[in-house]
Amino acid sequence: MPIPTTPNYFSLPFPTFQPAQRNILSITQSFPAVVTTTFDGINPAPNDYQNGMIVRLNIPYSYGLQGANQFQGVVTVISPTTFSLPIDTTLMDPFVVPTGQPANFATPPTVVNVGETNDNLKWSVQNVLPYPLNRLNPIE
């Protein structure tokens, strides 16, 4: 099996618990910063986030942009695959996808939903199970 030279991480498109963690494909050097999410590390993918959600960025060192690592902020949705965060990344080192040895990208960058503004509490109680609850076997 050949050693991969580009990151190829996968996250579940429709997990039971949502809103879900998503992998990060790119982050712009701008104010506000624009984040693009991905499932496979190569193509943009929907994140199902809503305005007012509070997320945290987890950016491994090899991806750069360490000034934004562990930043928590309120999401403003731009499109199904992008959202902005109120952080000025203009003068920070750029977000880059590392190349070369696979050890350089052992952990993908992620964005994790950690909270919501008060008027958004409905998003944390969504039932997104892929099957109706009445089909579950009762405990006997």
Q: How far, CA to CA in Å, does 18 sit from each of 54, 68, 113?
A: 14, 24, 9
The tokens describing 9, both together, are: 């991480």
Residue 72 contacts residue 56 (beta carbons within 8 Å) = yes
Q: What is the pTM of this model?
A: 0.74
Q: Is-cis flag, bond preceding 19, omega within 30?
A: yes
**pLDDT of res. 122:** 59
pLDDT > 70 in the chain, percent: 65
Query: What residue spans define the domains of the chain?
Result: 23-118
* Model pLDDT for residues 14-66, shown as the tens digit of each residue: 666 666 788 999 999 999 999 999 887 788 988 888 888 889 999 998 899 99
**pLDDT of res. 90:** 95
Architecture of domain 23-118: Beta Barrel (2.40)
Q: Which residues contact 99 (CB under 8 A, 6 or more apart)?
A: 5, 6
Q: How far apart are CA 26 and CA 110, in angstroms?
A: 10
CA torsion sign, 75 to 78 to 83 to 87?
A: negative
Q: How far apart are CA 123 and CA 94, in angstroms?
A: 32
